[in-house]
Structure 1
């Protein structure tokens, strides 16, 4: 009788251990699925935003920086509202979160695009892309300071490698940074980097309380006053846009704004702010490839090598995080 009881207890303990292992395995599988979803999600903004540089460059010949943003996000906000009504997504948000939406929409979207579009008017796309590529570095620093995220050596190494890759892609000369005639453009691009960090940090707390549609709808909504106030002070040649210009505006509104921001929000939720921002370094690659087919620009060997560096950095980060997930 005593022996039988002992066997039962041992069997029960073993069964409990098996259950625990199954639970851990299920959690790990869920984490891996979220990782895969996050990686698939971040590809959409990388592609659409990479192409958007070409669309914006075209439109700047006919419209001001804030006017482009006003039309782009007005259309996008309308599309999001229709989507929310049809899907039954709630429009209610807590009063305490209005400030986060204002920060993300006003500074992270409106002011960001003012800085970026204005900067491109004063400096070439190459140094502009290089400065934007610094976003992951500053995001990593700010996330570590604000959210106490531990900075892994592999994260730092991957970001450094990706920056080197972007430098090869844009093929910039260091001396250009010290050109006084272009200093204003560089200041604008640095402002764009700071604005995007505000967007990332202000967006992160919202994921726990709202759907992706709700988040980007209110971010777009709160960006509109900033765009509309500045719009009358810009010189626009609406009559010269033509079908091509309208097509670029539709692309920026539907693909770069609605789809791009929706899936970037999803990626930030599933991958984290820092890892999502690392994928921004893919933007110059997409821009170069699209410019080659759309504008006939030639891709150099140095740019191809730089592209491999960027891909390597993202791969290293992803595999390292995946390894840590399996280990835990």
Structure 2
């Protein structure tokens, strides 16, 4: 598959030593944190424009990562031959992905956003087929189809002809393509560097690429409110730091399509967070949709491998 043998021994640089289930848990942990990102993003828009939010979120993440590396005495450097690749992965996974996602979320509903996120595994599997000639087995294809059906039931999307919403949906599909390529580029790098080092340098590269986009956006900066500031803190620490560390860790043992297939849990968990945080009611059809999604995720993400 896409798995590569470690090019260097980084056991001293990363304390995590787990079996295959642990890597599943790492990726799932990232998905749990990202599941509340749509709610946090909407709340942050109270004072932040989409590109501003992505840039400030990344800036905070870089600062916090710098302190983490200092405290842990992590002085691991990126080899010269990998610098361009890591810079490009930072551009794709940090700058371009979050810029596109933030713009898309600002133009469409949260339920539409959840449905588009559920299509990411299909996008990744399709690109794996064309780029790496990897043929998905019937179980994986069936699982992805079931999961997407479940999300459609869960979100109960209605096409109302809103051109702005439709454009937002298309933009989010573009985010899925960008995320797939981020997975392809990052996959082998996770075996060469510790998760902290890899994510830190990706964030630094992403921040640099965000600067010209902020100038292009040309929006007035506003003083954050308690709500928008809290949302920003969650997005910076929970999503940009902890979730990325866990996700990059999971990529060490899981293929790109399997890692992304776990993101089908986002709409299910997003519904749970909406109930807990926004006190929204839940219908029987939504419960049914959640069960279908979970079944599809399990079916599409089962992978055999050595512990």
TM-score (norm 1): 0.82
* 1:275-286 equivalence runs, <5 A: 275-286=258-269
Equivalent residue number for residue 285 of structure 2: 302
CA distance in 2, matches of 1:187, 1:151: 25
In the alignment, which of 94, 100, 112 is matched to residue 109 of structure 1? 94
Match of 1:37 in 2: 22
- Quote how far apart the aligned CAs of 1:179 are: 4.3
Report deviation, 1:98: 2.1
Instruction: Give the counterpart of 2:154 among 169, 173, 190.
Output: 169
**Does the CA-based 8 Å contact 2:61-2:237 persist in structure 1?**
yes
The equivalent residue for 1:272 is 255
Matched, 1:235 2:242: no
Name 1:216's counterpart in structure 2.
Answer: 199
Superposition deviation, residue 184 in structure 1: 2.3
1-side partners of 2:241 and 2:164: how far apart? 36
Question: Any residues of structure 2 matched to 1:143-292 within 5 Å, and which?
Answer: 143-173=128-158, 175-176=159-160, 179-232=162-215, 233-239=217-223, 241-292=224-275
- Please say which structure displays the higher CA radius of gyration: 1
How many aligned residue pairs are there?
A: 288
Unpaired segments ≥5 residues, structure 1: 1-32
User: Matched residue of 2:157: which SS?
Assistant: coil
- Which string of whole-angstrom CA distances, capped at 9 and with x for unpartnered residues, describes residues 151-193 of structure 1? 21111111111111111111102x34x6434332123112211
After TM superposition, what 4+ stretches of structure 1 lie above 4 angstroms from structure 2?
Answer: none
Distance 1:244 1:159, change over 3 A: same
Q: Which residue in the other structure is 1:321 paired with? A: 303
1:59 aligns with 2:44: yes
For residues 159 and 288 of structure 1, what CA distance do their matches in structure 2 show? 20
Residues 16-38 of structure 1: CA deviation (Å, up to 9, x unaligned)? xxxxxxxxxxxxxxxxx622111
Equivalents in 1 of 2:297, 2:172: separation in Å?
23
Structure 2 unmatched runs, 5+? 1-17
Question: Bigger shift: 249-258 or 230-239?
Answer: 230-239
